[in-house]
A and B are shown apart, each in its own frame.
Chain A
């Protein structure tokens, strides 16, 4: 968690965002059927689908105001533009933040690859030569290759023995390891545990 002083400044921002969210929820709830009848059933405010979102929106708004009030009381609003500039440089444009973003980003690319199935068509020739069910299934093959590439990329991006660029031998070992691991995971889940693969 961030330290006390910058946290109070960020509270002004998160409080503001929460206030907007609370307002948006209330606005969305007011679009829902309130009063009269709905589907032939009496629909007073307390029975309507809007009742809970209205309560949640109002409570969020109240909490947001409290957070902003508490932050302002501790000087969170003072020098906010300068703080944001400094915060951007000291917390966002850092190696740690880039590593975190890369970790999340690689997961995003992995999910996208599972969705788009770029390797699915490779299963056709494998089916022709009588490969096992797991490899001949377009879903299974795509999962194995995407997962192997994901594990390899993840390890290459974050695992740097003595901080140097990895040698070809090191990459080859990691590639083989990733492929074996992906096949093992796919086999364990789909064949042994009967869990369908994405």
Chain B
């Protein structure tokens, strides 16, 4: 168990005064980001990436900052969900259903404390999964040749499209294809031929993921928030004790373990993310509950299920990211871009090229979970006040930050225009039932898909037979077919069914 000994070593090595201060600051920032409707973990990581890169922080400290925001933001969504019935993130919507009812019944403090502890346990669950699965998956991924790598990238885009499409799955694939199309802009990787640049020098280097991510996730939120700019009502609430009850933890042990497994499993599916993990886990908990009556008055079990799963998803999303270079969730997509800025290429060769990186990430995630546990309950009283900030003021600042974020990445105002244009397209896509997550995963995995497809075909003289004859390739072909013909229950369907039952 070399992975565990390396992990424990880095758990100690990572603690420096700078890293500690960074971690506490970014976890708090993340909680605020997660708590404010419209601001997401992805956006938080995207904005902070520019800052860490411009500050020339060493990769270790940059990852401390980004993971702090990631963990804090996923957890932070539970505060407005429980206190105000306004989920700060989609992942917090399942928590809102049960948590706010408990809050209205005078159990707000207890619910927030339970959500905090469960988010901690969920994150640690993800770390354990990383430590156990990454070595196995890395060994498997070393067998991959161009054929398998292309199929993996294609599978990533298709499954993300299938699982995130709110309407028909074809729309999810279209979004993924659009992302892959954007990735072909610029110089082609083998011949150096300029494609779809329209003689614009700024496009010669291709379209970078950061302006696309900022555009896709921030601009639609700004537009939507301004369409109905109503400040949330933040009534004075009596929270009560903010100490978690041990009896609650014991009572929900089975749900906790099951939700942790669901979170890790959903997280490891490319591009899917925390909101689906939370809904799936909540739905499963409700269907299998021994106390279904509690769900009418507000069930702590439902909060436990949703909060454990969405935080376990973080570790799950990092598993394919670190071993295969395929991000498991939208925030992980941004994290991948940030890691690549430091010239570290996640994938099967990562343990060989940077042996310290994976145990370091596990250690950082553990400390981020601990920081979240320490800060979480304390800031719940403050977050009620933060939520009173009117959306026009909040979104004005978000707009300013997204402009700086897209510009500062390579000092080009062209990226700002690109972000604005793609942001409008992303808003129109969402309005007409096309998801944006596959677009982003498409632009990230597109270059990997293209390079490996062409290389595989060149290696085999143009024959497509290896795609259907190599053993691992066959598994991917089956997975791709399953993702195409798989009929999924959307989280929306699950919600409506569970709330009506």
List chain A positions with a Cβ less than 8 A from chain B. 1-2, 7, 10-11, 14, 18, 25, 28, 32-33, 38-39, 41, 43-49, 51-53, 55-56, 59-60, 63-64, 66-67, 70, 96-97, 99-100, 102-104, 107-108, 110-111, 114-115, 147, 150-151, 154-155, 157-159, 181-182, 185, 189, 193-198
Contact = CB atoms under 8 A, between A and B. Distances in A.
Interface residues of B, number: 67
Given A1-B430, A7-B433, A189-B404, A28 B196 contact: yes
B17 interface: no
B430 A70 contact: no
Contacts of A193: 51, 54-55
With a 10 A CB-CB cut-off, give which of A28, A107, A111 has the most chain B CB atoms.
A107
A11 B213 CA distance: 25
A1 B433 contact: yes
Q: Is the interface of B mostly helix, strand, loop or mixed?
A: helix
Contact of B173 (A11, A63, A99, A147): A63
B191 A41 contact: yes
A37 to B, nearest CB: 10
23 contacts: A11-B432, A11-B433, A28-B195, A28-B196, A38-B193, A47-B457, A51-B450, A53-B195, A53-B196, A55-B453, A60-B177, A63-B177, A64-B174, A96-B227, A99-B228, A100-B224, A103-B226, A150-B396, A150-B399, A154-B399, A182-B400, A193-B55, A194-B54
Contact of A158 (B188, B392, B408, B462): B392
B399 A60 contact: no
Contact of A60 (B56, B174, B223, B420): B174
A100 B188 CA distance: 37
Nearest to A159: B392
Contacts of A51: 450, 453-454, 457
A56 B445 CA distance: 14
Interface of B: 50-51, 54-56, 166-168, 170-171, 173-174, 177-178, 180-181, 184, 188, 190-193, 195-196, 219, 222-229, 390-393, 395-397, 399-401, 403-404, 407-408, 411, 413, 416-417, 420, 423-424, 427, 430-434, 449-450, 453-454, 457-458, 462
Nearest to A22: B177
A107 B420 CA distance: 8
Nearest to A153: B396
Nearest to A161: B390
The 7 A-B residue pairs with the shortest CB-CB distance in the complex, in nearest-first order: A158-B392, A103-B226, A46-B457, A49-B188, A49-B193, A154-B396, A195-B54
